[in-house]
Structure 1
Amino acid sequence: MLGLIETLVNIDSGSYIKEGIDKVGNVLSGEYAKIGFETEVHEQQKLGNNLLIRHPEAVNPEILLIAHMDTVFGEGTVAGRPFSREGDYAYGPGVIDMKASHATTLYALKALMESGSEAFKNVELVLNTDEEIGSIASRELIEQVAKTKKYALILEPAQNGHLVSERKGGGKYFLKVHGKSAHAGIEPENGINVNVGLISGGTSVNTIAPFAEAAIDVRIETWEDGDTVDSAIKEICSYSEIPGTRLELTGNITRPVWNLTAEAEALIAIITEEGQKNGLELLHEKSGGGSDANLTSFAGIPSIDGLGPVGADAHQESEYLYIPSLAERTLLLANVIERLSSK
């Protein structure tokens, strides 16, 4: 498992690095082929190709497993800090969010097959490539596959060892400001644009930017919040108060709010019971971050997240995987799939 994780971590696969993500996808589809699973490739021109994986003997599988292949890290990150291990901890870009989850998922299915269980035929996997940027391009595939499922298990890492049962919704907006270029020292009065906040743009450090762009992240607790924020942002950006500038706003609320349902609580009860059989005391909590569970829950499928291994500091240089959690989380996932398949 660690060998596979090391291979995956040592591939730069930020959301916009198509070549790297597709390389990760090729490694994983190859591993699944070794155990008889088939991969259907959903090609994309700019982003990495999404993968739909199932066993050829699967007939109307009821369980959807989702794990994303992209990370938040840019090209060249691996060269600076590749996979490393120190005692019970492993480090590297994306090691816990969520390349280690690919190993536990694969090996859970291997465990089922080696035990003689037929439950591996009751799963279908979506390995998507843009979760870190909102799953905008993979959402249609996820929702299409989810329609025929009874359960959705999302393999995001466990937060403090906990399951995730609810998440905030969210969205992303991109504001482009078209202005007028000018020398910042000699004729600043002839330049028109914004120059505060987290933005990108400009042509040189001593030139007023003829163009700038701001990325705006939004988190919401309810759909009503989403409507309010969406309307407010669009109203604010519907006109410019600075003569000579033009505003261009794109984006919207991309992730629906995920609230705990009675059906999901029943699923949590099953998962916690299976954990207790192997000495795991599993709690569940709400997360402020979004995931693909927002999409499957919105589609009406009982969904639980945080079924990956344990680690912390995702999206940071200090990101780590707690290695002893690999085996226990693999066993938990295998047993949950077996339990849900016998219902």
Structure 2
Amino acid sequence: MSQWWEIDHSTDPIKTLEKLVSISSKSDDTKGVARVQSLLKKLFEREGLVCYTLSDEQSKAGPLLIAELPGQTNEWVNLICHADTVHNKSDFSLKMKKLSDTKYTGPGVIDNKGGIVVILETIKKIKKLLPEKSHRTLGIRVVCSPNEEIGSPGFHHYFNSFSKNAHAVLGFEPAAPDGSIIGSRQGNRWYNIEVSGESAHAGRDHHLGVNAGHEVALKAVALEELTDYERGLTVNIGHLQAGDKVHNVVADHATALVDVRFKSLEQRKNIHTKIEAILNKSSVSNAKGSKSESNWKIVDDCPPFALGERSKKLFNVYQQAISKIEKRKIKLIHAGGCADSNHFNRADLPILDGLGPVGAEMHTNKEWIDVSSIDSRAQAAAFLINDLMTNSEITMNKPNLQIKRAAFSDMPAIAKIIRSSADWYSPFVSKEDMKEHLVDEKWQKVNFPRRDFWIGKIDEKQTVGTVSLQYFERSAYLGYVYLDTAHTGKGYGKKLLDHAKEIATQNGMRHMVLLAHPKAHWAISAYKKYGFTCIEKDKDKILSWNNSSLKPYYEDGFHLYQFNLE
């Protein structure tokens, strides 16, 4: 295998970047975004990656593009980018313009089409460093959003599911002008506020009016006062509107759009309590005592990600590579803006962002890129990924999983594990079927004698996973295969399935079967990788399968998967 500093650099990424920049792909231009993703699919497939798309039924945007280079395990390094930009076709010419030997300008040239090219070049270098699947202990997964510039609505649940088996997340948003990269990001929450009052003539009947504009203005002032720069909290009134654009009528309706930024989930909780109090308070009334009424809803909720110890270790490796390649030192910085990488955040998962090329003035007609940084940043990213696959200091230590038959005293721990992932299923599982995920004490008493439960522990006290078996003729039904959400992506799920296979074989079973929802991508991916195949999607056929054995356990929309033991 090649050494990272000996990689051939004969390919010309600038031509790829020119092609991408020539395609107009503002977030709402679905055809343009689709053209970008179609080109990327061809380029990734040329490098041997397996590509597929994931759609959201309620989103008007195109699908997510996923490109995967498998490794030996079901753990992945996620590389994050997006195909859309903020630029209209008319903003400036859809061409890259050369400003100097290494400085080019163009719409989206740095955000994020330059980042996409860095990922493409990183993949090429990784394939030269680690050409065979047997060389790669981790898989590499590219996640390309069609609408990141407007918050990737409709796709957050996919990001969350991909984080479950993620080993690390690397975002390829632009680096800072001095080359520094991002180690933490603010979270944000968007509130849409509607205030209703009572209209009246502004002269003759002013005292009978309930001015919604006055009410929303008072709320705006109170909300702005929550800003605390020292603590990293900001509240911004992005838009205010009241009445019908006339002077002489008391406004009976008003709206406001509010953006809130915070550094931690605790801050989000605390400031939401204060915001809720302001929004629920009515300060404006008329002579009859009628008051204004306010309604509000949260329309976007992006969690923050903080700098963790494992992220610091990743940065040290990346910094070492940049120092050698670019002959400069870089820093970790905090970004006030949000990105798709925020939605991958979970406990102890290392995240770095800003691994794209160096440039500045993004979202303007002066947006520029230092094209020399495309290759240097790709080299550094390839070095980092190679180190991730080999360096035990960064690779998460995985204690041995001990599996034993569960006693009834273990059922509370099992129920807790099942409940820990209930939020993953709630977007697509009916309220009635969610009872199977929000299990209680009654469930424990009913199911313990019905199923053969096994638990996985990493020490004598910490239960991290469970699997249950029931036997229907020659098929073993795996009713519950669950991991504590804090322990996903560590190989424990495979060990539980290995154990279930061993027990099913000892009991003379021919197959293992289970039910899985097609939108539970974290589970489907693991089951397929293990060797399960989908044998039935039709509800009626699943309900009648094997003399209706699964009828008591079926949840609407789930498919039937089978693993052959013989």
Answer yes or no: same fold by TM over 0.5.
Answer: yes
Q: Give distance in 2, aligned partners of 1:147 and 1:27.
A: 29
Aligned counterpart for 1:216 among listed residues 258, 272, 278? 258
Q: 1:262 corresponds to which residue?
A: 309
Shift of 1:141: 1.1
**1:155, distance to aligned residue in structure 2 (A):** 0.8
Correspondence for 2:339: 291
Query: Is the CA contact 2:191–2:257 (under 8 Å) kept in the aligned structure 1?
Result: yes
Please tell me whether the aligned partners of residues 193 and 255 of structure 2 are also in contact (alpha carbons under 8 angstroms): yes
**Per-residue deviation, residues 21-46 of structure 1 (Å, max 9, x unmatched):** 22322221122122222222111341
Which residue is equivalent to 1:166? 184
1:29 aligns with 2:41: yes
Matched, 1:54 2:68: yes
Q: What are the residue-to-residue correspondences of 1:245-256 with 2, within 5 Å?
A: 246-251=293-298, 254-256=301-303
Structure 2, unmatched stretches of 5+, are 1-12, 218-236, 286-290, 392-566
Secondary structure in structure 2 of the residue aligned to 1:259: coil
Q: Mapping of 1:1-343 within 5 angstroms?
A: 1-44=13-56, 45-55=59-69, 59-73=73-87, 75-78=88-91, 80-85=92-97, 86-87=99-100, 88-114=102-128, 117-118=131-132, 122-159=139-176, 160-178=178-196, 193-194=212-213, 198-199=238-239, 212-238=254-280, 240-242=282-284, 246-251=293-298, 254-278=301-325, 279-343=327-391
Matched AA of 2:89? G
Q: Secondary structure at the match of 1:100?
A: helix
Cα distance, 1:174 vs structure 2:
1.7
Residues 19/236 of structure 1: CA separation in 2 closer, same or farther (3 Å cut): farther
Offset at 1:66?
0.9
Query: What SS does structure 2 have at the residue aligned with 1:95?
Result: coil
Q: Secondary structure at the match of 1:140?
A: helix
What is the CA distance between 1:221 and its match in structure 2?
A: 2.5
Cα distance in 1 between the residues matched to 2:70 and 2:308? 33
8 Å Cα contact 1:35-1:110 kept in structure 2:
yes
Give the match's secondary structure for 2:213.
coil
Cα separation, 2, equivalents of 1:200 and 1:30 = 45
- Residues 205-214 or 288-297, more deviating: 205-214
Q: 1:180–1:126: structure 2 CA closer, same or farther, 3 Å change rule?
A: farther
Helix, strand or coil for the counterpart of 1:71?
Answer: coil
Paired residue type of 1:248 = N
CA distance in 2 between partners of 1:258 and 1:39 (Å): 28
Question: How many angstroms does 1:324 deviate by?
Answer: 1.5
The letter for the 2-side match of 1:227 is: K
Shift in Å, 1:152? 1.2
Distance 1:12 1:234, change over 3 A: farther
| Aligned length, in residue pairs | 341
Q: 1:175 to 1:47 in 2, by over 3 A?
A: farther
Q: Tell me how far 1:158 sits from its aligned partner.
A: 0.7
Name structure 1 gaps, 5 residues minimum. Answer: none
* Shift in alpha-carbon separation, 1:124–1:262, aligned structure 2, 3 A: same
Contact 1:95/1:319 (8 A) holds in 2: yes
1:288-340 deviation line (CA, Å, top 9, x unaligned)? 22223333333531111111100111222222111221111122122222222
The 8 Å contact of residues 71 and 140 in structure 2, kept in 1 or not, is answered as: no
Aligned alpha-carbon RMSD (Å) = 3.3
Specify which structure has the bigger relative contact order, considering alpha-carbon pairs within 8 angstroms and separated by 6 or more residues.
1
**In the TM superposition, what is the alpha-carbon distance from 1:162 to its structure 2 partner?**
0.5
How far apart, in 1, do the equivalents of 2:163 and 2:144 lie?
A: 13
Q: CA offset at residue 65 of structure 1?
A: 0.9
Could you tell me how far apart the structure 1 residues matched to 2:199 and 2:32 are?
Answer: 36
Amino acid at match of 2:330: L
- Relative to structure 2, which stretch is displaced further, 48-57 or 115-124? 115-124
Q: Percent identity?
A: 26
8 Å Cα contact 2:186-2:337 kept in structure 1? yes
Q: Provide the rounded CA distance (Å) in 1 between the counterparts of 2:65 and 2:358.
A: 25
How much has 1:104 moved relative to structure 2?
Answer: 0.9
When residues 56 and 169 of structure 1 are mapped into structure 2, their CA distance, relative to the original with a 3 A threshold, is closer
CA shift digits 1:202-234 (9 cap, x unpaired):
897558787654321111123332112212222
Amino acid at match of 1:21: V
Checking the alignment, whether the CA contact within 8 Å between 1:21 and 1:48 is kept in structure 2 is yes
